Structures are given as C-alpha cells and as structure tokens.
C-alpha cells in the first residue's frame, strides 16, 4: 500500500480522532495528500514536483484540518453509534471545517513552491467590496 508523502500518523494530534490514524499508509493521510495536490493545482501548480517538501506550515495545518474533518465526517455516519458519540464527532467536524475554510483562504502559490521572498508572498488577501 502507498505511504503518505506529506503527512504521518504522528501529525494527527487530536485525542479523539488520532486513534483512527495509526500508520503512515492510512487512507485518510493519503486523501490528505490528494487534497494538497488539488489545492496546489487550484493555485496554478501543474507538476507535483513543484510542491515543496516538507510542506509550508499553513499547508500542513490545512491538510491536517482536512484529514481530521474527513475522519469526523466518516465517524458521524457509522451505524450503531450512541448519540453522544455522534455529537462528539459532529463537534469535531464543525471545528475542523472552520479551520480548513480559514486556512484555505490563506494558501498561496509561493507557499506551496517554497518561493517566499516577501511578506506579501505568505498569504492571499481577498475581500468583498460593498457599494451603497
């Protein structure tokens, strides 16, 4: 089985969700790799060789939030689980969804390629203009 390129089981520090990721060939870690590649493509990367390893801190945090959200999502839908268990995973899902959304907005081409030369290379700023 394939081993994750960007994440290890030790990266998942969540006490509740971490028990579902015990080896580096875990399907959730591999899914995290694919999500990093997908976000890199969204930012204009066409060759995975351009992705800097190890990942920039924010890309790593984004991937971990994605992995934890996916674990919680799957565990919420498991049959024969007590309501309290479902609620626990539901809360984790919401927390990691917000973290994933927040970090996704901060990812940049320079971060994924490791070509950070100016402070403005560290984030993408977007905003909404309101007209009155």
Answer whether residue 92 shows pLDDT above 70: yes
- What pLDDT, in 10s, does the model give residues 37-83? 999 999 999 998 899 889 999 999 999 999 999 999 998 877 776 77
State yes or no: pLDDT of 130 exceeds 50. Answer: no
Pick the residue with more confidence: 128 or 6?
6
pLDDT band of residue 9 (cuts 50, 70, 90) is: very high
What is the pLDDT of the chain when averaged over all its residues? 86
pLDDT on residue 106: 92
pLDDT for position 125: 52
Q: Which of 85, 92, 71, 57 is nearest to 9 (CA)?
A: 71
> Is the pLDDT confidence value at 129 over 60?
no
- d(CA 31, CA 63) in angstroms, rounded, equals 9
pLDDT in tens, 14-29: 999 999 998 888 999 9
Domain ranges (residues) in the chain: 9-122
- DSSP string covering the chain, please? ----SS--GGG---TTTGGG--STT-HHHHHHHHHHHHHHHHTT--SGGGS-SSPPHHHHHHHHHHHHHHHHHHHHT-SS--HHHHHHHHHHHHHHHHHHHHHHTT--HHHHHT---SGGGG----------
Q: Look at 68 and 126; give whichever has higher pLDDT.
A: 68
Per-residue pLDDT for 97 more than 90?
Answer: yes
């Amino acid at each position: 089985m394939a081993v994750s390129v960007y994440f290890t089981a030790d990266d998942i520090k969540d006490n509740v969700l971490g028990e579902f990721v015990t080896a580096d060939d875990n399907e959730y870690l591999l899914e995290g790799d694919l999500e990093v590649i997908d976000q890199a493509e969204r930012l204009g990367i066409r060759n995975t060789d351009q992705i800097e390893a190890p990942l920039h801190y924010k890309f790593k945090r984004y991937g971990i939030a994605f992995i934890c959200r996916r674990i919680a999502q799957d565990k919420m839908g498991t049959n024969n689980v007590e309501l309290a268990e479902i609620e626990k995973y539901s809360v984790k899902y919401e927390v990691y969804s917000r973290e994933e959304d927040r970090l996704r907005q901060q990812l940049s081409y320079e971060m994924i390629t490791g070509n950070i030369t100016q402070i403005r290379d560290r984030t993408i700023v977007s905003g909404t203009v309101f007209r009155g």
